[in-house]
Structure 1
Amino acid sequence: MSRRLLLGAPVVGVLGALLSGCGEDEPVTTSDGPRDGRVDYGNDPSQFGELYLPGGRPRGVVVVIHGGFWQGQYDRTLGQPLATSLQAAGWAAWNLEYRRLGNGGGTPETFDDVSAGIDKLAELDLDLGTVVALGHSAGGHLAAWAAGRGRDGGWPDRVPVTAVVSQAGVLDLRAAQADGLGGGAVEAFLGHAPTAADAPYDPQQQLPLEVPVWCVHGRDDDIVPPSQSAAYVEAAREAGGEAELVEVDGDHFVVIDPESDAWTKTLEILDTLG
């Protein structure tokens, strides 16, 4: 079954297979993409990032956070083509892996990993004046979350995120649950149906952020509807935040196709930042 089909499949059946076969899941131990090095930020096999460095001084750092409804069968290989493109465009790309459902992830472990993975940048001898969190689907959720992770004494943020690009992001967990996105993925990820008490994990409940957010979303996305981005941008602006909706032609995956016009528009957004 393809990644595209799996991403649209009900999460209950997928999670059952994941959890029952957890012992057979091969840990990710090596990077197989063009890179300047794998760097671990923890002891778990999924706690690492792949650093892609351009020739010359980087324009800034882009943290690439892959999607897949937080499920273990999706991994950092989804982000490698984007990291390669960012590297060619003069950015340092930090392609982040993290624990997911079925391999030790969930709430709060996945959040712990994303926060620790971003903070690891402080040890990599990089200029951290510009740190953009860029994430697709569930990765868009984590990218937006990461920009506000330090508020209210939440997670450490010794490396603050300075801007967010959400690519078809799951930005409102309560709406995502109500709409049945991922066949119950949100409830599986949180361990319960989302409520107002889940504000520390829900970008829609963390508004406004103190950094700009761009929401790039395909008009024909039938996996994460464009309403997720549109409603987030509207609420962010009403709360006094800086947010922009960038609608593009295509489906859920066009935004992570480095040959697409959608990705060209994303690179143009990044051009305004570094």
Structure 2
Amino acid sequence: MRLAAALALLAMGAPAMAAPMTYAEFREQVHQPPAPGPILAYGTDPLQHVELWKPAGKGPFPVVLMIHGGCWQTSVAKADIMHALAADLMKRGIAVWNIEYRGVDVPGGGYPGTFEDVAAAADMLGRDGPKLGLDTSHVVAVGHSAGGHLALWLAARPKIAKTSVLWSAHPLPIAGVVSAGGLPDLEDAKVKAAEACGPDTIDKLVGPKTDTHPDVYADTSPVELAPSRVPQFIVSGDVDPISKPEYAQGYALIATAKGDHPIPENIAGAGHFELIAPAGSAWSYQLQLIDRLFHPRPR
């Protein structure tokens, strides 16, 4: 009977899985509210700014440093892609420091500008955050796609060599990272994300090899900077066509061998953009991860 039932099911075919949400569907379906302000400049370029999403009340408020994706390209996405998530966190009593930055496709972006922008925005949070009613003693970074790479890079920034133009004496400490659909191994992503982001995107991001910058990944790729000793959740949708779960698992294996303890998290039925759709179960799960980073469990 069991064999007959199994054969009957095979004859009918397995239930079809829903296709992952496309970027166009995400833009159409997910309402992005306007930023409440203030908009804070950390540089002179119009893209060099941060949106502060701050709950009502006196504070100090816990703060999520948020970084959008878009294949590191300004023409693909800007900070407004994260507005719905920022609004949801603000509603829950968490302030959001939502970073805009110059992508590789605009003047000043690429290497080192894209990294310098994100670093400057983070360090402004450390410098000015307390005056704005923010608790900067335990900052959690949340990034999606290219922003997941940049969030992990911020956590690893203290490991950058002094010989690099990206070295900083007093980088903002990051207490934990949620990288959603991120690309933490840039050398790997150069091949595996070429179709999604373009064949020369990673080259523009890391810059050319020079006498003073012979290893272009040494100061740009989180896997090369490991161990950061920062708690990390590397979140993947199990049907994500852009940042597949094996990318996270590969990063986790290398980083663990170097002494880090990243935790890969696979979300069933989620694609790339379901990870930043606040009404879905993928975001609900990531909220739990963010809470765990704000309230670490004793070992």
Which TM-score tier does this pair reach, normalised by the shorter chain? 0.7 to 0.9
Q: Report the 3-state secondary structure (helix = DSSP H, G, I; strand = E; otherwise coil) of the residue aligned with 1:128.
A: strand
Distance 1:4 1:54 in 2: 29
Residues 59 and 149 of structure 1: CA distance in aligned 2, closer, same or farther (over 3 Å): same
Letter in 2 for 1:177: K
What is the RMSD of the two structures over their aligned residues, measured on CA atoms? Answer: 2.5
Q: Report the 3-state secondary structure (helix = DSSP H, G, I; strand = E; otherwise coil) of the residue aligned with 1:95.
A: strand
Cα offset, 1:88, TM superposition: 1.1
Residue equivalent to 1:44: 45
Q: Report the 3-state secondary structure (helix = DSSP H, G, I; strand = E; otherwise coil) of the residue aligned with 2:219.
A: helix
Residues 254 and 32 of structure 1: CA distance in aligned 2, closer, same or farther (over 3 Å): closer
Residue equivalent to 2:105: 102
Cα offset, 1:196, TM superposition: 4.5
Residue equivalent to 2:153: 145
Query: CA contact under 8 A between 1:115 and 1:157: conserved in structure 2?
Result: no
Q: How many aligned positions are there? A: 250
Cα offset, 1:127, TM superposition: 1.6
- Structure 2: segments with no counterpart, 5+ residues: 1-20, 27-31, 295-299
Cα offset, 1:189, TM superposition: 2.3
2:130 is the alignment partner of 1:117: no
Distance 1:116 1:136 in 2: 19
Q: 1:266 aligns with which of 286, 291, 295?
A: 286
Q: 1:187 aligns with which of 190, 203, 206?
A: 203
Distance 2:234 2:61 in 1: 21
Residues 159 and 63 of structure 1: CA distance in aligned 2, closer, same or farther (over 3 Å): same
Query: CA contact under 8 A between 2:62 and 2:135: conserved in structure 1?
Result: yes
2:79 is the alignment partner of 1:85: no
Q: Report the 3-state secondary structure (helix = DSSP H, G, I; strand = E; otherwise coil) of the residue aligned with 1:174.
A: helix
- Structure 1: segments with no counterpart, 5+ residues: 8-30
Distance 1:71 1:158 in 2: 24
Letter in 2 for 1:67: G
Distance 1:81 1:163 in 2: 21
Distance 1:149 1:72 in 2: 23
Distance 1:83 1:230 in 2: 27
Residue equivalent to 1:16: none
Q: 1:254 aligns with which of 271, 274, 294?
A: 274
TM-score by length of 1: 0.84
Letter in 2 for 1:187: D
Residue equivalent to 2:73: 71
Structure 1 segment 162-177 matched on structure 2, within 5 A: 162-177=175-190
Q: 1:62 aligns with which of 43, 61, 64?
A: 64
Higher alpha-carbon deviation: 259-268 or 236-245: 236-245
Cα offset, 1:82, TM superposition: 1.1
Distance 1:79 1:67 in 2: 9
* CA distances 1:233-274 after superposition (whole Å, capped 9, x unpaired): 222222221211111021111111111111111111111233
Structure 1 segment 11-30 matched on structure 2, within 5 A: none
Query: CA contact under 8 A between 1:66 and 1:76: conserved in structure 2?
Result: yes
Cα offset, 1:155, TM superposition: 2.9
Q: Report the 3-state secondary structure (helix = DSSP H, G, I; strand = E; otherwise coil) of the residue aligned with 1:129.
A: strand
Query: CA contact under 8 A between 2:175 and 2:293: conserved in structure 1?
Result: no
Residue equivalent to 2:217: 198
Higher alpha-carbon deviation: 132-141 or 100-109: 100-109
Distance 1:3 1:64 in 2: 22
2:252 is the alignment partner of 1:233: yes
Residues 3 and 123 of structure 1: CA distance in aligned 2, closer, same or farther (over 3 Å): farther
Q: Report the 3-state secondary structure (helix = DSSP H, G, I; strand = E; otherwise coil) of the residue aligned with 1:241.
A: coil
Distance 1:168 1:229 in 2: 8
Q: Determine what percentage of the aligned residue pairs are the same residue.
A: 35
* CA distances 1:54-113 after superposition (whole Å, capped 9, x unpaired): 134355211110001111211001111111111111111011001112222111100000
Residues 36 and 171 of structure 1: CA distance in aligned 2, closer, same or farther (over 3 Å): same
Query: CA contact under 8 A between 1:115 and 1:156: conserved in structure 2?
Result: no
Q: Report the 3-state secondary structure (helix = DSSP H, G, I; strand = E; otherwise coil) of the residue aligned with 2:293.
A: coil
Cα offset, 1:180, TM superposition: 4.4
Query: CA contact under 8 A between 1:37 and 1:50: conserved in structure 2?
Result: yes
Structure with bigger gyration radius: 2
Higher alpha-carbon deviation: 149-158 or 213-222: 149-158
